[in-house]
Amino acid sequence: MTQAVVTRFAPSPTGRLHAGHGFSAVRAHDLARAAGGRFLLRIEDIDIARSRAEHVEAIRADLAWLGLAWDGYAVQSERMALYAAALARLRAMGVVYPCFCTRAAIAALSAPHGPEGALYPGTCRGLARGEDPERSHAWRLDVAAALRVAGGAALRWHDARAGWVRADPASLSDVVLARKDVATSYHLAVTVDDAAQGVTDVLRGADLFHATHVHRLLQALLGLPTPRYHHHPLLTGADGERLAKRHGSPTLAAMRLAGADGRAVADRLRQAGRGNMDHADGIGFAAPVP
């Protein structure tokens, strides 16, 4: 029996959604609907300091305005026990280590850069076991040890545009899996949640392509299934810059409150996905950011 398609849209409620978010949501929704599958909404609010309840409500209102209905709903801050259990398994396997470096100390280090910025140089990887791990600022994945356990040479994942990709988690170095102030990370939480929710197809922006290398390694370590990946190009404005709050991109909430037709906006986003628009300004709205 063919496995039912399950997709998800997983925004962080740290700000208002813009057309780029809508682009991802529409694509995930439409793939599920075309296959007679399920489309899930997951609120990724593990950044407690920046997440806001009003942004969660706006996300739900924006999706409804676009005409997108979800079949399941989850909130990451309510799932911390799942992430703690996964981290405990990784600790027992000996593939994570406590990191005592502060963010300021890491920023001051001279390190090479990878696809997602400065790489952690492994300062704490070889610390004496006498250190109290509970005093650490973070838990990091020991990529070299993890690859030995998981048989890294055989790990791969499939992307709809790139085809089969050999997993190369070392390109991101020893990523953080949990911090003292936040008991999980994007990498750990998204891997656990996609498996727990039965997600078969992950649609997200190309800016997260490289993160998949780490997610594939975590899946192998934890014995979790590997979804199919669809990393799509990012929407840009007429200036060629990717849509982002810092670039003043108009938000979906601003369009919605200005009286725009949400279903028409969703259709324009679908046209963008088919290559019928040069850039996101072709959506036709220039509402100010609220």
Q: Which residues are catalytic?
A: 245
The Cα–Cα gap between 193 and 2 comes to 22
Distance separating alpha carbons of residues 27 and 83, to the nearest angstrom = 28
> Are 27 and 261 a contacting pair, CB within 8 Å?
no
Cα angle: 64, vertex 65, 70; to 5 degrees: 20
CA torsion sign for 12, 15, 16, 21 is negative
Cβ atoms of residues 131 and 80 within 8 Å: no
DSSP state of 247: G
Instruction: Give the type of residue at 67.
Output: G
Which sign does the torsion angle of CA 170, 50, 89, 126 carry?
positive
Helix 53-66, helix 19-34: angle, nearest 10: 60
Phi-psi region of 23 (alpha: psi -120 to 50; beta: other; left: phi over 0): alpha
Q: Which helix (H) or strand (E) holds 85?
A: helix 80-93
